């Protein structure tokens, strides 16, 4: 089962909607250069959310799109929630990541919840740590490695 990158999104602060960009550099054991969530000190270096999850929220009447749930990479064609922790993905030509967490606890209603009216990220987003860096761009393929 392969998919593709629909959108790449970054922000300089945590807990806010992210802005789409055409391409980014992803650093090994760090995350996306210029994104607030990038860090070598934790396992949630890059976040992924399926465009299919965003579509569900749109059907509920919310005016949302890629980046609005603070995900770094909006995907299409991969059932992210079916990927167990430890699954490796190849994104684009060189980037390799490993699923490190599925979903997250949302302890407070963040700015995204208040702006969008709901948040799908805690239930349907996944997080990865970067094993091999490189550049990725919108439209790149995503391949499940194991």
Query: For residue 30, what is the domain's CATH number?
Result: 2.40.33.20
Q: What was the pLDDT predicted at 73?
A: 97
Contact 103, 68 (CB under 8 A): no
Q: What was the pLDDT predicted at 1?
A: 60
Q: What was the pLDDT predicted at 48?
A: 96
Q: Which domain holds residue 37?
A: 2-144
Phi-psi region of 34 (alpha: psi -120 to 50; beta: other; left: phi over 0): left
Going by DSSP bridges, is the β-strand pair 46-50/73-76 parallel, antiparallel, or unpaired? parallel
pLDDT in tens, 30-53: 999 999 989 988 888 999 999 999
Residues contacting residue 122 through CB under 8 Å, at least 6 positions apart: 103, 104, 105, 106
Mean pLDDT of the chain: 88
Contact 131, 98 (CB under 8 A): yes
The structural domain count of the chain equals 1
pLDDT in tens, 90-121: 999 999 999 999 876 655 555 555 555 556 66
Matching residue, tokens 């270096």: 45
Q: What was the pLDDT predicted at 112?
A: 53
Q: What was the pLDDT predicted at 110?
A: 55
Query: Exposure pattern of 102-123 as b/e (b: 16+ CB <10 Å)?
Result: beeeeeeebebbeebeebbbee
């Amino acid at each position: 089962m392969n998919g593709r990158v629909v959108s790449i999104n970054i922000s300089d602060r945590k807990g806010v909607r992210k802005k789409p960009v055409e391409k980014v550099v992803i650093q090994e054991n760090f995350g996306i250069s210029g994104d607030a969530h990038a860090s070598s000190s934790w396992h949630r270096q890059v976040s992924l959310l399926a465009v299919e999850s965003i579509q569900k929220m749109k059907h509920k009447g919310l005016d949302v799109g890629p980046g609005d749930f603070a995900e770094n990479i909006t995907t299409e064609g991969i059932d992210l929630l079916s990927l167990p922790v430890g699954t490796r993905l190849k994104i684009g030509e060189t980037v390799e990541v490993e699923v490190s967490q599925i979903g997250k606890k949302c302890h407070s209603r963040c700015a995204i919840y208040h702006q969008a009216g709901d948040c799908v990220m805690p239930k349907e987003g996944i997080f990865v740590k970067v094993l091999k860096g490189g550049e990725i761009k919108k439209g790149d393929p995503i391949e499940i490695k194991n």
